Every structure is written in C-alpha cells, then in structure tokens.
Amino acid sequence: MPTESRRASRRRKGLPTWRLIRYADDFVILVHGTQGDTPALRAEIAAVLTPLGLRLSEAKTQVVHMADGFDFLGFRIQWRRKRGSDQWYVYTFIADRPIRSLKAKIRALTRMSSQMELGYVLTRLNQAMHGWATYFKHAVAKGVFCMLENFAWRRVVRMLQTRHRWNWTDVRRRFTTPSGQWRPITAGEIALRPVSAIPVTRYRYRGNTIPSPLASGPRLNGRARGEPVAGRSARRVRREVRGNGPGVIPAPRPGPTQRPADESGNR
C-alpha cells in the first residue's frame, strides 16, 4: 500500500488496506478491514521474513483492536472517545513500563541510607528525568510529568530528612520563602529542575519533508562528483611527512636480513 490514493481506491471497492509503521527492527501494521483479514496478512509477512532468516516472535506478536490499544516504542496508542463529545480519536499515551523504569531509577538515586553528595544526586536526576521527558513530550504527558516531578521531590526530601534528622518543620523552614512559597532544592548552583516545564507538543509527521541525501547530486562510492578521495589525501600527507614531495619515490627499506648502510656505504 505505497500511496494514500491506492488505499482510498481499495476502500471504495470494499477491500481491506494496511499500512506499515517501522522503526529499526520494530514495526506495526495497521489494518483497515475485518478481523478475518489479519491472519492472511500475518502469514504473508512471515513468508517475507523467512528468506531473511527472521521470524515473528509468538510472545511479542499480537492482534488487537485499536480500541484496546497497544504498546509501541514505550508509547501506548489507543483509540478513545474525546471527553465531552461523541468523536473518537487515536491518542498517544506513555506506557506503564517506562514510567515504572524511571521511578526505579529515581528510587535508586534517592535511597534513605544514601551518602552520595546532594549535587551529584540532583545532576543525575536532572539528566534521567529530562532526557526521559524529552522523548515522551509528544504524548499526552502533562499529568505524568507533574506526577513524576512530585515523586522525585518527595524522594529527595525524605532522603535529606533521614540524613540530617529533620522533621517537617525543618523542611518547611529551609525550602519555603517568607511568603510561604516552596523554593527548589539546590546544592550550590545545581537545582532540581522541574520536569513539568517541558512543553508537551503533538508530533507532526515530517516524512515528506526530510531532505533526500541525493539532493546534492549523484554520488559515486559514497562521495559526490569532484570530491577528493580521503585515502589518496591521507597517503599524500604521510609521504610529505616522511620528507618526500608528491611524485617522489621513497627510498627502499632494508630487507629483513640486511643491515642499514652507514655514512661510508658499508653494511
């Protein structure tokens, strides 16, 4: 099903259509048709993969309805009714497994008996949480970001309470302003950055706008026409470093059974 027009033509005739979404060796096939059309397509896919020495994993391969949803690359893709309306849309959520994985990393960095420096802990938390949030910022993730931000803040506060034997009054005195506003947890110039500040934007498909590597002209053996060969340039540089100019044949080296000649020519 290479084009949208071909899929639309088949739908007008009442025929099933499908579309492939692939990332590296993970792929999902969306089928527009009945449940009986899926087994035939699955058998065809298995036949295509067999000459490549590959096969479908029985444990990971499943056939589900879009209303039930499926996990793909850490996202939970599901067909749901929009709240307050009768219209249905395909939503992209964050799956449960990545959330549990990030929580496990936060717990490992903020153990109650941990003696790691606070600056190191805050740096590692910022790296883990912001890298994770940047990957999932295209999903429906605002509520998840706020939840993880509160989770990390409470873990750090409880670690400090255990380490310094603080009570809740000591915590409020150190991390609140005179007006009652909470201050960020800091260690020198390092602060626990809020994850909820990362903007959540919907991903826009840009497959048709990615520039082609062939746009600059034909390439020969991985290089454009007129581009110098890296190997020749490297050999020319090595010869000039030895003291031989371009086009000068280097002096022969002595064989394994010969000794180098001295200034008088004797060996």
Place of tokens 């915590």: 171
- The confidence score (pLDDT) of residue 45 equals 87
- The confidence score (pLDDT) of residue 165 equals 93
Assess contact for 87 and 81: CB atoms under 8 A.
yes
Does 228 score more than 80 pLDDT?
Answer: no
Does 71 score more than 80 pLDDT?
Answer: yes
Averaged confidence pLDDT in the chain: 80
More confident residue, 63 or 152: 152
CA distance 185 to 115: 17
Cα angle value 57/62/64 (rounded, 5°) = 170
Residue 156 CB coordination number (10 Å)? 19
Q: What number of residues does the chain have?
A: 267
Q: Is the pTM of this model over 0.85?
A: no
- CA 55 to centroid of chain Cα atoms: 25
The beta strands (E) that lie in the chain are given as 17-23, 26-32, 70-72, 75-81, 88-94, 186-187, 190-191, 219-220, 223-224
Does 242 score more than 70 pLDDT?
Answer: no
- The confidence score (pLDDT) of residue 210 equals 66
